[in-house]
Structure 1
Amino acid sequence: MIKILIADDQAMVREGFGALLAAQPDMVVVGDAPDGETAVTRSRTLDPDVVLMDIRMPVLDGIEATRRLAGGPKILILTTFDLDDYVYEALRAGASGFLLKDAPSADLINAVRVVAAGDALLAPSVTRRLIAEFAARKGARPRPAALNALTPRETDVLRLIARGMSNQEIAGELVVAEQTVKSHVGRILTKFDLRDRAQAVVFAYETGLVTPG
């Protein structure tokens, strides 16, 4: 069972998402929180697998709450706006995925399962926002020597991850088995001590391996 905690300052949102997720055979909602500070406290007590985290909350916002929970539960950020100013900072803080609050119910259910399984989930509009963040920055970054640790094929895979492609799509692009792609992804994450694909996307842009456009 996937244990879920829902953090949002709107009671109706917590109740609505709670009812939807609790109805799934593989999920249980262990608690909720009206603000970031309560989310951190209850997460440490209830030990959820996934926290649905709103960004804009009183007392403590979702970004700082995500930062404080680093290394703990997977964080799935729920936001009203796909152009939220805090998308990039939340990824840096340790979020494993982003989903818009107005996404279809099936997308929310799938997102929880994807994040709980250790993968990352970024809505296409959010990925574009992340790229725009880097496009707005002035000056090119030198390519770090650390990237030399990548094999040519791992470099190809990381570039495609940064474009938002799934393992299946990468396998099709490179004409290899999906299991081979999974192995490459695992080695990339291990080499740079990255938690998941979301961090890999940030890493690819920060190091200059991939540039907007």
Structure 2
Amino acid sequence: MTTRILICNRMLLYAEGLRRLLAEDERFAVVAAGGDAETVKALAAFDPHVVIADPACFEHVAGAGRTILLTWDGVSAASPQSFGNLRELVNCGLAGVLDARTDPVLLRKAVTKVCAGELWLDQQIIRRVLRPDAAQSHIQLSRREIEIVQLLRQGFSNKRIASELCISEQTVKTHCNHLFKKFSVSSRLQLVLRTSPDSLSSSPLPH
């Protein structure tokens, strides 16, 4: 069976390189590639087996296929709590995480495994996950920040979070930006990877 692959990456030259690389393997067929949100949503209609996406595209392809996330900071995107979050992320379509600079042979292997229904985590990320991060355990969050992280972990959009908490979308964005800085991340997915129920259950700061 030929594996249909959808590439979602904002760096179009990189996406084209991926397409050509995968096209060399007769087991794979890249059905489409794109980068901006609207294009990615439209491309989901190609019914791919596997989606290869960057973090910015992940939320737009959730459910389109089993997704391999390619990150340029794969190690820092993971945390000691990542394994605890995998079930939630898998429910959103995440099936693998790879460093964007990974070896082509490893990428092909990851695509094959993910298409077969397995999960794939880069070995560097696994080592990072298994190494405790003492500094992160001391990050203090306000009650509102904890509420927002809990809703983000459930896959809520900013609009829905605002509705749930009776605040404006701009306030949600402001809280998210503060959370990104506290956890040294740059995306919602990385934030989810860096948090866990245990880390959110400690004594919160006031709003």
Structure 1 consecutive aligned stretches of length 4 or more whose deviation exceeds 3 Å: 84-91, 128-138
TM-score, scaled relative to structure 2: 0.55
2:175 aligns to what? none
User: Once the 2 structures are TM-superposed, how far is the Cα of residue 134 of structure 1 from its aligned partner?
Assistant: 7.8
User: Once the 2 structures are TM-superposed, how far is the Cα of residue 63 of structure 1 from its aligned partner?
Assistant: 3.6
2:75 aligns to what? 83
Equivalent residue for 1:62, pick from 57, 67, 77? 57
User: 2: CA distance between counterparts of 1:31 and 1:38?
Assistant: 10
User: 1: CA distance between counterparts of 2:78 and 2:121?
Assistant: 14
Any conservation in 2 of the 1:82–1:129 contact (CA below 8 Å)? no
User: Once the 2 structures are TM-superposed, how far is the Cα of residue 206 of structure 1 from its aligned partner?
Assistant: 6.2
TM-score, scaled relative to structure 1: 0.54
SS class of match (2:105): helix
1:51 aligns to what? 51
User: Once the 2 structures are TM-superposed, how far is the Cα of residue 86 of structure 1 from its aligned partner?
Assistant: 6.9
2:116 aligns to what? 117
User: 1: CA distance between counterparts of 2:59 and 2:132?
Assistant: 20
| Identity within the alignment, % | 26
User: 2: CA distance between counterparts of 1:79 and 1:86?
Assistant: 11
Cα-to-partner distance string for 1:169-196 (whole Å, 9 max, x where unaligned): xxxxxxxxxxxxxxxxxxxxxxxxxxxx
Cα-to-partner distance string for 1:8-61 (whole Å, 9 max, x where unaligned): 111211111101111111110100011344223211x11111110011xxxxx2
Any conservation in 1 of the 2:74–2:97 contact (CA below 8 Å)? no
1:73 aligns to what? 65
Any conservation in 2 of the 1:7–1:36 contact (CA below 8 Å)? no
Cα-to-partner distance string for 1:93-121 (whole Å, 9 max, x where unaligned): 43100111111110111111111110010
Say which structure, 1 or 2, has more relative contact order (CA 8 Å, 6+ apart): 2
Any conservation in 2 of the 1:4–1:31 contact (CA below 8 Å)? yes
User: 2: CA distance between counterparts of 1:62 and 1:78?
Assistant: 10
User: Once the 2 structures are TM-superposed, how far is the Cα of residue 132 of structure 1 from its aligned partner?
Assistant: 5.5
User: Once the 2 structures are TM-superposed, how far is the Cα of residue 85 of structure 1 from its aligned partner?
Assistant: 3.7
SS class of match (1:97): strand
1:105-144 to 2 correspondences below 5 Å: 105-131=104-130, 136-137=136-137
Q: 1:206 to 1:114 in 2, by over 3 A?
A: farther
User: Once the 2 structures are TM-superposed, how far is the Cα of residue 77 of structure 1 from its aligned partner?
Assistant: 0.4
Q: 1:30 to 1:133 in 2, by over 3 A?
A: farther
SS class of match (1:98): strand
The alignment yields a C-alpha RMSD, in angstroms, of 3.1
Amino acid at match of 1:51: V
Structure 1 residue runs without a partner (length 5+): 56-60, 139-201, 208-213
Q: Does 1:39 align with 2:20?
A: no
Q: 1:48 to 1:206 in 2, by over 3 A?
A: same
Q: Does 1:26 align with 2:18?
A: no
